[in-house]
Chain A
Amino acid sequence: MPHILLRRLVDSIIVLWLASIVVFLLLRVLPGDPAILLLGENATPERVAIMRHELGLDRPLIQQYIIFSTHALRGDLGESIRAQQPSLPYVLARFPATILLTGTATGLAILIGMPIGVLSAVRRGSIYDAAARGLAIMAQSTPNYWLGLVLITVFAVGLRWLPTSGYGTLRNLVLPSITLSFVLLGLIVRVTRTEVLEVLGQDYVRTAVAKGLAPTRVFSRHALRNALIPILTLIGVQVGTLLGGAVVTETVFAWPGVGYLTVQGVYARDYPIVQTAVLLSAIVFVVINAWVDVMYVLLDPRVRYD
């Protein structure tokens, strides 16, 4: 058991290390002066000089990276140009809003997508199946920025049932989370359908049916449980997509999360914010996928790390 988990841990650390190199290099391969990029155009020459020294811009690239990474390990990812405060806590403060949004969207996608996928598999070849497959492809092909605008036009502007933007109440959460859930919804329907079809063809399901187990029990005990694992993997792998979707969705709904902050950071050329956001999403990805690995063991008795 420790062997594989250890290897996964090493892999995760390597990914984070690579992410830090990407973030570091992006600002250095530019023609401009990183110190000015990091401080903004309006910085005084004295501050730029101090920054140049802190970044070690007069030293070789390797040394600069060592400075960058030792600072990063201490949680120092620079200072936001606009907010004039350390960028890590500044970005982290927006994190709960993003977790709330992506979490709700994932929950919605699972709650709606799995039953549709299961039914689609069970009634394979029916009109229902064709409709579910069509819906899944449409959901995957829907640009979330557009879906957001359509939902705003219909439910906020037209019917006036829900607010167009904002944060804090349950009513604010409805439209953004539906918008964000769509891409994942399509994927979950498709994967659930494929997996359930595969599981239903397995010998142990036939045995369960043959020994007279009620269809619903066959389903919950055997089919669903086994289909759950690939879906879990899918969600793990899609964390990046989901966070990317949150960038756009949050911007459409002015949702005060990390994504909205990042886009504003890009507009304001507030690079420390953007760098922090990129690193943070890599960390979230690594942590969630480690959690998925642990969930495997809990869900599937065949998986034993030994």
Chain B
Amino acid sequence: MKDRLSALPVLARRYILGTIGAAILVVVVLVVALGAPVLVPRNPYKQAIAERLRGPGATIEGHTFWLGSDHLGRDVLSRIIYGTRISLLISATSVIGAALIGTAAGLVAGYVGGWPERVLMRVVDLQLAIPFILLALLVVALWGPSTQNIITTFIITSWPVYARVIRSRVLVIREMQYLEAARALGQTPTKTVFRHVFPNTLNSVTVLASYQMAQILIVEGALSFLGLGVQPPNPSWGNMLAEGRGYLETAWWLATFPGSAILLTATAINLLGDALRDWLDPQMRSMRF
């Protein structure tokens, strides 16, 4: 076993370590999100003014604030754990929704061509031209910042990313011999797309979705940070950061820990995305997004 490992290039071994680390972290985050109610050391909404702004590790009446307490005496660790749930729910739902719509649009544009393709490409241009966050800000400001609206906003603003990538994949797949064979055998276009084209785009969708997941996690944090995402008292990593902003001098832990949660999770997901790309879809290496 050791021999086989050392036969791998030095580089590959290093990446494997990083990938394993990232995978473990992602699994931990998932477990935390799913098991939040069981895992929290304390009710994340419980306020105790007497216990406000205690540093990490402070123990009061038998309860240890491992990551400190906030300006209302709430347990920061418990709030981060609950925040994981909300942040993951929003980003996972948005990614799935956008991937479904974007892939469908990309398949149609790439396979059918003609005006659907031209319309789609201009929408893609438009999506690139209007900053994601600006549009999200405007939509959420107009519609109100409920979880549902935030998810809808993210789906509306991010599906063209998938459409663009899938379309370019379809253009390549369309010229493959197996498609020629399918056409020659008289297979209907719908069946061809579902049986042959769509399965061959799945790898690209998976890779892209993992990068998008990290991206949306960060943007959701930004929206909540600006006060237009998840609304207090519900904890989200972004609004915890915003609340900690007023205490940078006196209580560094308030902004530091939720921020680290976003940074670590996003890094782990991006690392996994890289591994997925090398494994599933090496052509995407040259794709820029």
Is A57 interfacial (CB-CB < 8 Å)? no
Residues of A within 8 A of B263 (CB): 138, 141-143, 146
Residue of B nearest to A236 (CB): B128
Residues of A within 8 A of B128 (CB): 237, 240, 285
Tell me if A274 and B129 are in contact (CB < 8 A): no
Residues of B within 8 A of A140 (CB): 214, 270
Residues of B within 8 A of A251 (CB): 226
**Stretch from A76-84, A211-219, A242-250, A291-299 at the B interface:** A242-250
Taking CB atoms and an 8 Å cut-off, the chain A residues in 233-276 that contact chain B are 233-234, 237, 240-241, 243-245, 247-248, 251, 262-263, 266-267, 269, 274
Residues of B within 8 A of A278 (CB): 130, 134-135, 138
Q: How many whole Å from B124's CB to the nearest CB in chain A? A: 10
Taking CB atoms and an 8 Å cut-off, the chain B residues in 195-234 that contact chain A are 214, 218, 221-222, 225-228
Other-chain contact of B241, A19, A146, A262 (Cβ < 8 Å):
A146
Is A115 interfacial (CB-CB < 8 Å)? no
Q: How many whole Å from B211's CB to the nearest CB in chain A? A: 9
Tell me if A125 and B141 are in contact (CB < 8 A): no
Other-chain contact of A146, B132, B137, B259 (Cβ < 8 Å):
B259
**Stretch from A67-75, A103-111, A150-158 at the B interface:** A150-158
- Tier of interface size on chain A: 35 or more
With A141-B214, A285-B128, A286-B129: A274-B259 Cβ-Cβ less than 8 Å: no
Residues of A within 8 A of B15 (CB): 130
Q: How many residues of B contact A (CB 8 A)?
A: 55
Number of inter-chain CB pairs below 8 Å: 154
What is the 8 Å Cβ interface bit string for chain B, positions 2-17, against chain A (1 contact, 0 not)?
A: 0000000111001100
Is A48 interfacial (CB-CB < 8 Å)? no
Is B126 interfacial (CB-CB < 8 Å)? yes
Is A26 interfacial (CB-CB < 8 Å)? yes
Q: How many whole Å from A257's CB to the nearest CB in chain B? A: 13
Tell me if A130 and B255 are in contact (CB < 8 A): no
Is A64 interfacial (CB-CB < 8 Å)? no
What is the 8 Å Cβ interface bit string for chain A, positions 200-213, against chain B (1 contact, 0 not)?
A: 00000000000000
Residue of B nearest to A283 (CB): B129
Tell me if A281 and B132 are in contact (CB < 8 A): no
CA–CA, A20 and B218, complex, Å: 28
Tell me if A281 and B130 are in contact (CB < 8 A): yes
Other-chain contact of A15, B129, B139, B245, B248 (Cβ < 8 Å):
B129
Tell me if B226 and A248 are in contact (CB < 8 A): yes
Chain B interface residues (CB < 8 Å from chain A): 9-11, 14-15, 18, 122-123, 125-126, 128-135, 137-139, 141-143, 214, 218, 221-222, 225-228, 238, 241, 244-245, 248-249, 252, 255-256, 258-259, 262-263, 266-267, 269-271, 274, 285-286, 288-289
Given contacts A146-B262, A149-B241, 4 further A-B contacts (CB under 8 A): A19-B129, A187-B288, A247-B134, A282-B129
